[in-house]
Structure formats: C-alpha cells, structure tokens
Amino acid sequence: MVIKEEKIYTIPFWLLCTSNFLFAASFSMIIPELPDYLAAMGGSEYIGYIIALFTLTAGLSRPFSGKLTDHIGRVPVMAFGSIVCFICGGIYPLVHSVHAFLLLRFVHGMSTGTKPTATSAYVADIIPEHRRGEAQGTLGIFTATGMSIGPSIGSGLANFMGLDVMFYVSSLFALASIVILMRLEETLPKSMKSRFSLKLFKINWKDVFEPKIAPVFIIMILMAFSSGVVVTLLPDTTKLVGWHNKGLYFTIYTIASIFVRFFFAKSSDKYGRIPVLIISCIFLLAGMFLLALPASAITLVISAILYGISWGFSTPTLAAWTTDLAHKNHMGRAMATMYIALEMGIGIGAFLSGYMYQGISQMIPIPFFIAGLLASIALVLLLSFRKNWTQHGF
C-alpha cells in the first residue's frame, strides 16, 4: 500500500492532466466572445441560451457517458468528448444565423457531457481512495489553468486576428487533447467490458441517477447555479467597468483556484469532505453577494478571488466525495450523476440570468444575489450533514 501511495503521480496521470488542460482551454477559449458574436447576428435576446443549451446537452449526455464509461471503457468516451470539441470549433466560422449557432451550441455540449465523466472514473481507477482528493485537486489545477488561459487567449486572438482564427485555434487545442489520449491505456477491467452496441444507449432511471451520491447531487446544483450566472453575465459586467479583455475575470478567478488546489490539495483527504465544502460555500456566498453590489473594478477583482477560492476547494472535494460514496462497478454512473447536477445548476443559472438580464444593466445584481442565497442554503445543508455523518469519507 505504501508503494502505491508513493506512485500516484504516474505518466498516465500526467498525460491525463495535459489532455484535460487542452480540452478545457479549447471549449472555454470562445466563451467570452460568444455573447457579442451572437448579438452581431441579431440574437442578443438569446444570450442566456449560449451556456444553457451547452449545459443542457451536457446534462442529457451524462447518463449515456456514464453507462458507456462503465461498459466500453474510459478512454473511448474521453476521446469522443475531445473529438466533438475539435469538430465544433471548425464549424463555428461557417455559421451565420442565430438558429444554426444555437444548434451548434447544443451539439457542442456533448463534449463536456462525456470527457469529464470518463476522466474522473479514470482517476478513481489509478489513484488510492484516501488520496483521491489530492489527485482530483492536481487534475483540477490543469483543468482550471486551461479554463483560465483559454478565455484570455480567445479574447486576444479575437481582438487582433479575428473570431475565425479564435475558433480554429480552439479546434486545434482539442485535436492535441485527442492525440494525447491515444497514448493512455484503458483501465476498465476486461471482465467488465462489453462490446459496443446500440443497446448501450437504452437508458433507464438507474442509469440517470445514482442514489448513493444524492447529497453530492444536491450541494452541486446549489453551488453550480453561480457558475451559470457568472459565465452569462460577467462578459457584459466587465464592459461596464471598462475591461476590454473579457477573459480577465476568469483569469483572476482561476489563479485563485489554482493557488488553493496547489497548496491545499490534501485538505479534504485530511479533514474530511464536508468541512472543506463548508469553507467553500462561505467563500462562494461572499463572492456572489459582492457581485450583487454596484459593479466596480475592485469588486470584480475581489469577487473573482473569492469565487476562485471557493471552486478551488469544492471541485476536487465534490469529485472525491462522489468516488467515496459510489460502488466501484458504477463509478461512471456516479460521476455522471454528479456532472448532471453540475450542468443542471449551470444551465438553470445561465437561463434565468439571461432571461432576467435582457441587456438591462440594472438587472445584473439580481441573479448574483440569488446565487448567493442558494450558496447559503448549501451551507446550511452541509452543516446539517456534518451533524449526522462521521468525518471518514466525507
């Protein structure tokens, strides 16, 4: 056991991290520019759909990706997600109507509906249970870095070389992710593998929801609502304070997130999942309530730091908590359930904030205030969970 603990950071793990970095950079690179891109087509009233449709498909894909991950393997499902990113990135420059754009966003969502599910299952396969929080934190550093660098690169490319170049570079990042994945060995035991068939796409309720991780599901939805609000409203909020690079907020947020993941990677393994999530919720509600105040450069910077610290703690902890609660034969299903909650929270947050906003800047604080209230509810629930459960595994 000691030897296994000392070798958790293997070549396959680092390859997985690098692939995740490229994948995250690929799909996040275009996000800050999409609201203006859609508005230029005459679809400003559909801005909330940019993220909502993406996350809707991601959520709908989760039961299938979870089942396929548990039956045909982790690597093929990861590769499929990156392939979707690669193809969609090359199609964006060819789209010139609102409805075609929204359809493409709907299809693009399959990428994040598949790759993260299989990635988390792969990590659970190669990392000892009591160090999964640390490993998820390290993986999260690469993912967060990609999501930070992506928007900044995307906005820079859009400003100096045009939107088409930004889309093509996004596609190339996804292609690089695919190439790296091809070097990974499959971790699903041969005894558990099934041949690919259309029957695998027959889904029932047990494939959609893993009841063992219900507590994770609830907390994730309540916290993820804030992400939908942030990605929908922050591009326009940054313009109100004079920031020309719409990815700057996400860069600050990610730096804070990486700092937490780097220096506190072992915190949930050492102190328990719930105590760490309680801290995360406190930072999240503070960040959201701050964004509900009149926008200024200083409030944006501080809120980005608080928001980043929150997700730096919560993302790896929620993933580790899920693997703690899940049955080893249903790891893909459990991770899919967790990500369904993530997409539901993001999608609802994006849709409601876009619906409430409608281009009226005075409406921006309201969705952020609601996000803060939901984070407060999550905090209360976690405090009640802590009273009823022991620290081990939570």
Q: What is the mean pLDDT of residues 213-230?
A: 94
Q: Which of 197 and 181 is assigned the larger pLDDT?
A: 181
- Phi then psi for residue 8, to 5 deg, are -70, -30
**Domain region containing 312:** 8-185+209-388
Q: Which of 27 and 246 is assigned the larger pLDDT?
A: 27
Residue 268: what residue type? S
Condensed to tens digits (0 to 9), the pLDDT of residues 333-392 reads 888 888 889 888 988 998 898 888 877 878 888 999 999 999 999 999 999 887 665 444
On the question of pLDDT at 208 being above 80, the answer is no
pLDDT class for 110, splitting at 50, 70, 90? Answer: very high
pLDDT for res 1: 36
Percentage of the chain modeled with pLDDT above 70: 95
- The answer as to whether 271 is a domain residue is yes
On the question of pLDDT at 394 being above 60, the answer is no
Q: What is the mean pLDDT of residues 206-220?
A: 86
Measured CA to CA, the distance from residue 267 to residue 250 in angstroms comes to: 24
Locate tokens 């959520």: which residue? Answer: 59
Q: Which of 7 and 93 is assigned the larger pLDDT?
A: 93
pLDDT for res 130: 75
Comparing CA positions, the residue from 123, 117, 129 lying closest to residue 59 is 117
Q: Which residues contact 17 (CB under 8 A, 6 or more apart)?
A: 138, 139, 141, 142
pLDDT for res 306: 96
pLDDT for res 101: 94
pLDDT for res 387: 67
Please state, rounded to an integer, the average pLDDT across all residues of the chain: 87
Measured CA to CA, the distance from residue 24 to residue 145 in angstroms comes to: 8
Q: What is the mean pLDDT of residues 323-334?
A: 80
Condensed to tens digits (0 to 9), the pLDDT of residues 126-139 reads 888 777 778 877 88
Q: What's the number of domains the chain is made of?
A: 1
> How many other CB atoms are there within 10 angstroms of residue 91's CB atom?
14
Task: Kindly report the CATH number assigned to the domain that includes residue 57.
Answer: 1.20.1250.20
- The answer as to whether 1 is a domain residue is no
Residue 312: what residue type? G
Q: Which of 7 and 341 is assigned the larger pLDDT?
A: 341
Cβ atoms of 268 and 133 closer than 8 Å: yes
- The answer as to whether 236 is a domain residue is yes
The 10 Å CB-count burial string (b at 16+, else e) for 346-360 is: bbbbbbbbbbbbeee
Tokens matching residue 48: 């909330």
On the question of pLDDT at 285 being above 50, the answer is yes
Cβ atoms of 299 and 293 closer than 8 Å: yes
The 10 Å CB-count burial string (b at 16+, else e) for 66-85 is: bbbbbbbbbbbbbbbbbbbb
- The answer as to whether 195 is a domain residue is no
3-state helix, strand, coil in the chain (%, to 5): 85, 0, 15
Q: What is the mean pLDDT of residues 2-12?
A: 65
Distance of CA 126 to the CA centre of its chain: 21
pLDDT for res 350: 85
Torsion of CA 322, 324, 326, 327, to 10 degrees: 160
Q: Which of 151 and 171 is assigned the larger pLDDT?
A: 171
Sign of CA dihedral 35, 36, 40, 42: positive
From the number of C-beta atoms within 10 Å of its C-beta (0-12, 13-18, 19+), residue 391 rates as exposed
pTM greater than the 0.75 cutoff? no
Condensed to tens digits (0 to 9), the pLDDT of residues 30-76 reads 988 898 889 889 888 888 788 888 888 988 888 888 888 888 899 99
Locate tokens 């100096």: which residue? Answer: 160
DSSP-derived letter for residue 44 is G
pLDDT for res 132: 76
pLDDT for res 319: 86
Cβ atoms of 245 and 300 closer than 8 Å: no
